[in-house]
Amino acid sequence: MATSAVLRRLILAVPTLFGVAVVVFLLIRVVPGDPVAMMVPPGASEDDIAALRARYGLDLSLWSQFWIWLQGVVVGDFGTSISLRQDVLGLVLSRLPATLELAGLAFLIALVIGMGLALVGARLRGSFAETAIDSVNGVSLAVPDFIWALALVLVFGVFLGALPISGRLDPRAGLEFATQFYLVESLVTLRFDAAWGLLRHMLMPALALALPLAAVITRIFKDALKEALLQDYVLLARIKGKSDTRILIEEVARNALVPTIALTGVQLTFLIGGTVIVERIFSYPGIGNMAIDAVINRDLPLIQGIVLTFGVLFILVNLLVDLTYAALNPRLRHG
Amino acid sequence: MADVTDTSLTAVGVSARPNVLARVLAEPRAAVSGGIILLLVVFAVFAPLLAPHDPLRQDLMLSQIPPVWMAGGEPGYLLGTDSLGRDVLSRLIHGAQVTVIVAFVAATLACLLGSTLGLIAGFAGGIVDMAISRLVDIWMAFPPVLLSVLLVAVLGAGLHSVIIAIVVIDWTRFCRVVRAEVLQQAKRDYIDSAVTLGMGRIAILFREILPNVLPLIIVLLTLEMGIAVIVEAILSFVGLSISTDQPTWGGMIAEGRQIIHHAWWVLVFPLIALFVTVLAFNQLGDGLRRALDPVLRA
């Protein structure tokens, strides 16, 4: 039952991804700037330019270009980056782990802050503390990652000088890694000094990405908790003599989780989409930062590869959220 | 009161308006937010009169002067100058022009496009609904910032490109919500009554459903204005927005980011302006939501 639902969702994702591919393909083919003209040195002959165009297939018709590209994508060949002259798939795969680690850390921070504030707010409902949480949250809901990122750079990077404001790790540290998942690798191999160095670089961009999501989680989770507190089983637990805090954590939190997860899915894709600008602000070497460079350099194959990667990522995240929702929701589990 | 709402919706749409305005203004946060937005518009319209200096005039002798209250500040340059010696306050005031144009024009166009498609999808159903919903799905699979950067790169830098990019990206926000709300409204009893009375489908859509969805659209529009302002700032920050002849807050932020260790004020003031503006649109939207809620529920 669950497997067939997953399969159905994956099959439905194919036309969406195909649509994404078509939109990007058409969009960047209307680019007025000629990528080849930007690549050749000044004074290159007409023949040189024509040869380069032929090499990247830019002299073919739109349909054949799309057909060739699509045939490649199906077998995992995304073409060659025009500006970096490397395999697109290899480039994306070498940068993707940095983005995944950043987004993963941001999600974790958002969960901890969001759920923590919601639990505190629900436990102290009606008090001044709840009002304070609500007001801070009201502001956080309105402020996007772009503003958070720059404000954090100013406060912690410049005024306090406590954290590095760019990059993923200190180049002077001379650290070597076997994989591209630096943080995961250094934690698994127990190199905590390396992990600390990485975390210091990732903390501000991750926090900037996390805060808007944390605000959403706080609001939804706190409302769900307060609603669940009115149910009969809470009264029963109270009669049995359980304390308010224990009721909240042991009885109520699990039930309040279901609506929270349902509403967090879209927000999580916003967090991943936000890596594009946040990585730019912190010169963090993920695919988002590479994407903006690709657009500025009119690197058509690289742009296509990255946009499609984000599309796949968004669809997978939505699928995971739905599966978690189904696993936690008793009504769906037994149905 | 409730009876009136049920029988004559269009009439209520008109008569309820002063009430709604009064209710919004009765909330301090919404009233302050409205005041801030009004002030922003005044700054934008009268920028040449209000700005103490020409925002484009460079003077390398006056480069990176700190704000007036700091050591080394000059009385004529309240918020200091940037690396080219341009007055930060004057650039801030002139930058409000782009912000205001983008907020009102781009958000309104996105609202018109998205709401229209949402109304059509929700009301027509069937294959039309499926086609529009698939299109929204495809759009939602793009990271919005990347799509906007891509669009402006394709269209070429300039205010019109920025506006088109915002419309092309953000119509889905309206489309999704309006479609869902139309589906909700279509189930209500008053639609059955209208059908029984022999009203045509188009008449039902415009005279019965639209007035009931409109409050929601207005709230979304207000929130979208804040989002549009941010998108423009991001595009300016990446260096793709408007020509250098027109100061923008995003452009100032990008310059400030470069010299953050030498002249933080070049970054701080446009960032504060952006923060206050986004917050104001958001709080006004929230205030409108609360004020319009009884109308929604009616």
pLDDT tens digits for B209-261? 888 888 889 999 999 999 999 999 999 888 776 666 788 898 899 888 888 88
Record: contact B283-A272, CB cut-off 8 A: no
* Side chain identity, residue B40: L
Q: Does B164 touch chain A (CB under 8 A)?
A: no
The CA distance from A277 to A215, in Å, is 20
* CA distance to A274, A302, B114, per residue, from A307 (Å): 14, 9, 23
Residue A86: which pLDDT band, with cuts at 50, 70 and 90? confident
Burial B204-219 (b: 16+ CB within 10 A, else e): bbeebbbbbbbbbbbb
Identity of the highest mean pLDDT range in A56-65, A99-108, A296-305, B12-21: A99-108
Token pair of B7 as six digits: 């029988």
**Is the distance from CB of B183 to CB of B158 less than 8 angstroms?**
no
The CA distance from B216 to B225, in Å, is 14
Q: What is the mean pLDDT of residues A279-284?
A: 92
Q: Does B180 touch chain A (CB under 8 A)?
A: no
pLDDT at B198: 78
pLDDT at A149: 93
Greater model confidence, A71 or B121? B121
pLDDT at B12: 43
Greater model confidence, A225 or A39? A225
Taking 50 as the threshold, does the pLDDT of residue B298 lie above it? no
Record: contact B267-A150, CB cut-off 8 A: yes
pLDDT tens digit string along A291-328? 999 888 878 888 888 988 898 888 888 888 888 877 77
Judged by average pLDDT, the poorest of A39-43, A83-87, B144-148, B234-238 is A39-43
Residue A85: which pLDDT band, with cuts at 50, 70 and 90? confident
Taking 60 as the threshold, does the pLDDT of residue A334 lie above it? no
The CA distance from B253 to B146, in Å, is 19
The CA distance from B74 to B184, in Å, is 61
To the nearest whole Å, the CA of B18 is away from the closest chain A CA by 27
Record: contact B150-A303, CB cut-off 8 A: yes
Which of B140, B156, B230 is facing A146, going by the closest CB pair? B230
A-to-B residue pairs, Cβ atoms closer than 8 angstroms: 126
Token pair of B176 as six digits: 């999704």
Q: For residue B274, list chain A residues with Cβ-Cβ distance below 8 A.
A: 147
Record: contact B261-A158, CB cut-off 8 A: yes
pLDDT at A37: 63
**Is the distance from CB of A83 to CB of A255 less than 8 angstroms?**
no
The CA distance from A67 to A94, in Å, is 26
Q: For residue B226, list chain A residues with Cβ-Cβ distance below 8 A.
A: 142
Q: For residue B271, list chain A residues with Cβ-Cβ distance below 8 A.
A: 147, 150-151, 154
Taking 50 as the threshold, does the pLDDT of residue A235 lie above it? yes
- DSSP H helices in chain A: 2-29, 35-39, 46-55, 62-74, 88-123, 128-142, 145-152, 182-188, 192-228, 232-239, 244-246, 253-281, 287-296, 300-328, 330-334
The CA distance from B122 to B116, in Å, is 10
Taking 70 as the threshold, does the pLDDT of residue A40 lie above it? no
Record: contact A295-B138, CB cut-off 8 A: no
Q: Suggest the residue from A17, A26, A92, A276 to mutate for an interface test with chain B (most B CBs closer than 10 A).
A: A276
Taking 70 as the threshold, does the pLDDT of residue A194 lie above it? yes
Residue A332: which pLDDT band, with cuts at 50, 70 and 90? low
pLDDT at A103: 94
**Is the distance from CB of A260 to CB of A111 less than 8 angstroms?**
no
Q: For residue B237, list chain A residues with Cβ-Cβ distance below 8 A.
A: 146, 277, 280-281
Q: Does B275 touch chain A (CB under 8 A)?
A: yes
Record: contact B238-A280, CB cut-off 8 A: yes
To the nearest whole Å, the CA of A17 is away from the closest chain B CA by 7
Of all residues in chain A, the one with the smallest CA distance to B273 is A147
Q: For residue B267, list chain A residues with Cβ-Cβ distance below 8 A.
A: 150, 154
Taking 60 as the threshold, does the pLDDT of residue B13 lie above it? no
Greater model confidence, B233 or A32? B233
